[in-house]
Amino acid sequence: MSTTPARQSTPRVYTPVDHIRPELKSMSPYTPILPYEVLAERLNRSPADIVKLDANENPYGPAPAVAKGLADAQYLHIYPDPASGFLRDALQDYTGLSKEYLLAGAGADELIDLLFRLFIVPGKGHSVINLPPTFGMYKFDADVNGADVVNVKRKHGSFAVDIEAVEHVFENAAPEDYPKIIFVASPNNPDGSVVSDDVLRRLLALPTLVVLDEAYFEFAQDNRLLWVPRYDNLVVLRTFSKWAGLAGMRVGYGAFPLGIIEHLWKIKQPYNVSVASQIAAVASIREKGNLLAKVERMIAQRGLFYKEVKRFDWLTPFPSQSNYVLCRVAGGRTAAQVKEQLAERGILIRYYTAKGLADCIRISMGTEEQMKRLYEALVEL
């Protein structure tokens, strides 16, 4: 018979939630655009009856070759090529840049997050420069990765980068406190403005990494991707979500200096771009003529939009070089009211309340039929 005394049980004092990073417990979640099926249920309409102009998606959808490629796919049960070899070969042809500079991602969003992981040490006071109003993922990923955010507001009215204010940040900081990254969207979301060559060169002269987000490049044609081999501090990001209509597939790519990309290869998820996404992206490049013709149709709708909205003295559009137009709402109306009134008619747009964008709406360019329905609805408001 054992004489060992029975071990007394002690109450567990460990609570997992208490060990979550405090800054993540207190942060606000990102607010995504809702998909068709959820919107249809909320609006009590069929998806086919909804005109979705709120997320800068391609209203024409993907190239026909995408569906065929997916239907014929033989290896969906096998893990994807971690190097996205066929896709990077196709991107080399599409961009004119050697594939050694190119890395594919599960959307450009993944590549943004990877850059934070590579350059930011949480809790060390590392910072990045954000240029609001702009794409919300830069601030979101900064919060997730423990980076401080230095907001340098764009110029009022034009939304141009305030380059003097950006330079001032570095002039007033010690070298060890210089921001690690500056994010520049061109065209900028939500207004569609493009950074000039002169301003970009001044940014590249600063002691920081410049991440140029060209998600809407095909609508503006200001191509800086080929600058990457000449600058060791320039990254250019792009996506298939807009021009190729693959927002639901989550596939993007970036051009990186060789000294940076070698480390990104080490830290990216091994199988980050799915077999289906790689097939869809390669098929899109092969049908680029068809897709770019659809881009031209959206650009034409953008030009027509400026003519049509002249009828509405309560709408003031800003210049845009993308597939959306930002408008200020006036005449006793609010952006929220316009958004709700259009939603009641099955037309979805984006509206803003933040400082600098107060009473602004953003309208993505749709098909000819969708835009006609929008104009008819605006007349009724």
Arithmetic mean of pLDDT, 92-100? 98
pLDDT at 349 over 80: yes
Q: Residue 355: its pLDDT value, please? A: 81
Asked if the bond preceding 16 is cis, omega within 30° of 0, the reply is no
Model pLDDT for residues 277-302, shown as the tens digit of each residue: 999 999 999 999 999 999 999 999 99
Least confident of 87-91, 210-214, 322-326, 329-333: 329-333
Instruction: List C-alpha distances in Å: 83 to 117, 271, 276, 370.
Output: 19, 8, 15, 39
Model pLDDT for residues 241-269, shown as the tens digit of each residue: 999 999 999 999 999 999 999 999 999 99
Arithmetic mean of pLDDT, 45-73? 94
Q: Residue 353: its pLDDT value, please? A: 86
Domain formed by 31-58+289-380, architecture: Alpha-Beta Complex (3.90)
Q: Residue 3: its pLDDT value, please? A: 62
Question: Residue 102's Cα: distance from chain center in Å?
Answer: 18
Q: Residue 220: its pLDDT value, please? A: 96
- Cβ contacts of 79 within 8 Å, gap of 6 or more: 271, 275
Q: Residue 112: its pLDDT value, please? A: 98
Of the ranges 29-33, 41-45, 107-111, which is most confident? 107-111
Q: Residue 1: its pLDDT value, please? A: 54
Residue (of 257, 253, 246) closest to 88 by Cα position: 253
pLDDT at 2 over 70: no
Q: Residue 358: its pLDDT value, please? A: 87
Instruction: List C-alpha distances in Å: 157 to 81, 162, 318.
Output: 46, 12, 8
Arithmetic mean of pLDDT, 44-57? 92
Q: Residue 376: its pLDDT value, please? A: 97
SS3 52: strand
pLDDT at 365 over 70: yes
Length of the chain: 381
Provide the terminal-to-terminal Cα distance of the chain, rounded to the nearest Å.
89
CATH code linked to domain 64-287: 3.40.640.10
Is 50 in contact with 34 (CB distance < 8 Å)? no
pLDDT at 6 over 70: no
Distance CA 165, CA 169 (A): 7
Q: Residue 217: its pLDDT value, please? A: 96
Per-domain residue ranges for the chain? 31-58+289-380, 64-287
pLDDT at 9 over 80: no
Model pLDDT for residues 179-223, shown as the tens digit of each residue: 999 999 999 999 999 999 999 999 999 999 999 999 999 999 889
Q: Residue 32: its pLDDT value, please? A: 82
**Please, what is the Cα angle at 28 between 26 and 30, to 5 degrees?**
145
Q: Residue 4: its pLDDT value, please? A: 64
Q: Residue 354: its pLDDT value, please? A: 85
Least confident of 9-18, 44-53, 347-356: 9-18
| pLDDT band at residue 356 using 50, 70 and 90 as cut-offs | confident
